[in-house]
Amino acid sequence: MTTETETDVFEEHRPVLLGVAYRMLGRVADAEDVVQEAWLRWSGADRGDVREPRGYLVRITTRLAIDRLRQVKARKEAYVGPWLPEPYATDFGEAVPDTAERAALTDSVSLAVLVVLESLSPLERAVFVLREAFGYPYAEIGAMLDRGEAAVRQLAGRARKHVEERRPRYEVDPDRRRELTERFLAAAGDGDLEGLMALLAPDVRLVGDSGGKSKAPLRILESADKVGRFLVGAAQKGVPDQSYRFMELNGGLAVVVLSEGKPDSVFQVDVFEGRIQAVYIIRNPDKLLSLATP
C-alpha cells in the first residue's frame, strides 16, 4: 500500500518529471501519461536502495518518454500540415529564482527549440533535455540511460551542434515581446497591413498547426507580404464572440484567442532586433484542451 510519505515525495518532484516528459514529447497529454506511468512504477517499486528519489524518478520518466517518443513517431509522420508542440503553461515564478537556470528552462521549452528537437533521435533528445534544461552531469545522465560517460558526451555534443545550427534567433525580453505582441494584435485587428508590415522582418515565417481539423495554412508562409496579408485576412474573418487572453506559454507571452469563452487558437511571436521573426498559430482543437478553464 502506498504511504502518504511516498505520495508526498512523488508530488514534490512531479513538476520536474512533467517538465522532462513534455520537453521529450511536445504534447501535454503524452507527458501526463508518462508521469502517471512513472507514478505506478514508483508506488510498486522496492525503494529500499533509492538514495535520491528525484534522480530515480527522472530516470524512470526519461526512459518511459523515450519509449513513448518511438511509439508516436508514426503519428507525427502522418500529421496534416506543419506540426507544433502543444502549448504548455509555464510560470516558474519564485520556484526558479536563478537567472541562468530560468533562462535554460525557458529556452528549452520554447516552440522554436522544441520544433528543432523533433529532428533529434530519442537518445539525443533525452541527453539534450537532461543536460541543457536540467543541468545533470554527464555521468549521471549515463547512469540514467545505461550509457558510458564518453558516449553521453558525444550524444550531447552532436545534439547541441544540431540545435544551435537550426535554432532561430530571437530575444526573450518579456517587455519588448509584449509591446510588439500588442502592436501586432492591434494592427492585424484594424486591418492595418502597412502597420503590420512595419513589425514583421522581411523573411518572417508563419507556422500554422491545425492538424487538418481547423482552418490554417497547410504550408509554412514566408515573407512579410504573404504573412501580413494572411493575418489581416484572418483577423477580418474573426471568430464568433471573440476575445483574448494573455498567458505565459512555452516560456514566453502568448495570446489565447477565445470564441464564446473557449480556446480557439494560440498566437505567439519570436522577436529579434525589434522585428517579429516568426509567428506561430496553433488551432488544432486537441492541442488547446489544457488551456480551457473549468
In which residue are the cell numbers 496534416 written? 80
- CATH number of the domain enclosing 234: 3.10.450.50
pLDDT tens digit sequence for 141-160: 999 999 999 999 999 999 99
pLDDT tens digit sequence for 11-49: 999 999 999 999 999 999 999 999 999 999 988 877 667
- How many distinct structural domains can be found in the chain? 1
Q: Is residue 250 part of a domain?
A: yes
What is the residue range of 184's domain? 174-291
Q: Is residue 283 part of a domain?
A: yes
- Residue 178 grid coordinates: 509584449
Per-residue pLDDT, averaged over 59-83, amounts to: 89
Cβ–Cβ under 8 Å, residues 135 and 177: no
pLDDT tens digit sequence for 203-222: 999 999 999 999 899 999 99
Phi, psi (rounded to 5 degrees) for 11:
-65, -30
Q: Is residue 204 part of a domain?
A: yes
pLDDT tens digit sequence for 94-103: 444 455 555 6
Per-residue pLDDT, averaged over 189-201, amounts to: 93
pLDDT tens digit sequence for 256-281: 999 998 999 999 999 988 899 999 99
Residues 6+ apart with CB under 8 A from 154: none
Q: Is residue 192 part of a domain?
A: yes
| Half-sphere exposure of residue 8: CA atoms within 13 angstroms, side-chain side | 3
pTM: 0.87
Q: Which residues pair with 270 in a beta bridge?
A: 278
Per-residue pLDDT, averaged over 241-254, amounts to: 91
Q: Is residue 133 part of a domain?
A: no
Distance CA 132, CA 113 (A): 12
